[in-house]
Amino acid sequence: MSMIVSREVRLASRPVGVPRPENFELVETKVPEPGAGQILVRNTWMSVDPYMRGRMDAGASYVEPFGVGHVLEGHAVGEVIASRSPGIPVGATVIHFAGWREHALLDAADATVLDVSIARPQDYLDGLGQTAFTAYLAVTEIARVRAGDVVFVSGAAGAVGSVAGQLAKKFGAARVIGSAGGPEKTRVLTEEFGFDVAIDYRAGSVADQLAAAAPDGIDVYIDNVGGDHLEAAIGALRMYGRAALVGMISGYNATDPVPGPVNLYDIVVKQLTLRGLLVVEHLDRAPAYAAAATRWLADGSLWTKQTVFDGIERAPEAFLGVLGGANTGKMLVRL
């Protein structure tokens, strides 16, 4: 087998504020043949996710920052085209963390073989993937939804929020309210994802719209946005309300410290519980989720939507689109 010429996306420079196309570099490279215990994967699908914005900055976080001049990384699915591992044959479909490239040379231990007879390969980056698993943790464990609850989800048309709203209903919520940007996304929330009410945060005050949608308050908040959404939710939460803080995309590109909600004392008065969620701390629960979600996807009780960009050269555009809200459901790049 001759050495393969492949393309990959590297971090050209660290962004200040909103990332720009010049912060990325598309590079042609040669991929060697696998050594003992290794596999060579032709990537077919890759994921771009909001948390990657934090990895573009220098400094310590819960995940190592991307290195300037180095290829980016993230979850990807692909087909094994060469193998020197007895456990992973040529032709197998695998998931791994070496995305942002057309071909990945991996130790076999860093890849997991997927069963593509029960779900499509791309579903393992979406409904069976880490974003949907995050939503599951948020509604079952971090801000546990109980029968009869009123639930508010921000970023509800995104990969996490769209699943969180559906699972909240599945686990007994009486009313699920979602926020999204624009009339098309709010239509999708109610007509396709099954939310009871959709708020268009571009159309006016989130707090006023939430008060109209839930005049008696909410019990649970799933936060993907932060900012005015978090402030509105704190104001709307009833006594002993719970919030799962999953992400705060409204502040990811900020160059100055982001102001906190002005109503934090409500947390004391109403004895609220606000708990952060990092999915990497709960990976022991992932197999149980995947088993359940496989059934839900098959019987139609969990439904996902994907926004797809084609070609490795469009991966930066897809990523910038996620940060700007261009996606409905999961943003994926088809390679």
For each of the chain's 335 residues, which pLDDT tens digit applies?
668 999 999 999 999 999 999 999 999 999 999 999 999 999 999 999 999 999 999 987 788 999 999 999 999 999 999 999 999 999 999 999 999 999 999 999 999 999 999 999 999 999 999 999 999 999 999 999 999 999 999 999 999 999 999 999 999 999 999 999 999 999 999 999 999 999 999 999 999 999 999 999 999 999 999 999 999 999 999 999 999 999 999 999 988 988 999 999 999 999 999 999 999 999 999 999 999 999 999 999 999 999 999 999 999 999 999 999 999 999 999 99
Same domain, 11 and 78: yes
Same domain, 154 and 269: yes
Same domain, 121 and 50: yes
Task: Give the structural domain span for 179.
Answer: 140-280
Which pair of tokens denotes residue 28?
């042609």
Determine what percent of the chain falls in helix, strand and coil, rounding each to the nearest 5: 35, 30, 40
Same domain, 260 and 319: no
Measured CA to CA, the distance from residue 37 to residue 240 in angstroms comes to: 52
Number of Cβ within a 10 Å radius of residue 269: 9
Measured CA to CA, the distance from residue 333 to residue 174 in angstroms comes to: 36
Q: What are phi and psi of 115, to 5 degrees?
A: -95, 100
**What pLDDT, on a 0 to 100 scale, did the predictor assign at position 1?**
60
Which pair of tokens denotes residue 137?
């943790």
The enclosing domain of 247 has a CATH number of: 3.40.50.720
| Residue type (1 letter), 174 | A
If one counts the domains in the chain, the total is: 2
Same domain, 22 and 144: no
CA 171 to chain centre: 21
Same domain, 262 and 145: yes
Which pair of tokens denotes residue 124?
């393992």
Measured CA to CA, the distance from residue 224 to residue 233 in angstroms comes to: 12
Same domain, 146 and 90: no
Same domain, 163 and 229: yes
Residues shown for the chain: 335
**Cβ-count burial 288-327 (b if 16+ within 10 Å, e if not):** ebbeebbebbeeeebebbbbebeebebbbebbbbbbebeb
Statement: the pTM of the whole predicted model exceeds 0.85: yes
Same domain, 270 and 192: yes
Measured CA to CA, the distance from residue 235 to residue 233 in angstroms comes to: 5
Measured CA to CA, the distance from residue 140 to residue 169 in angstroms comes to: 11
Burial degree of 242 (CB within 10 A; 0-12, 13-18, 19+)? buried
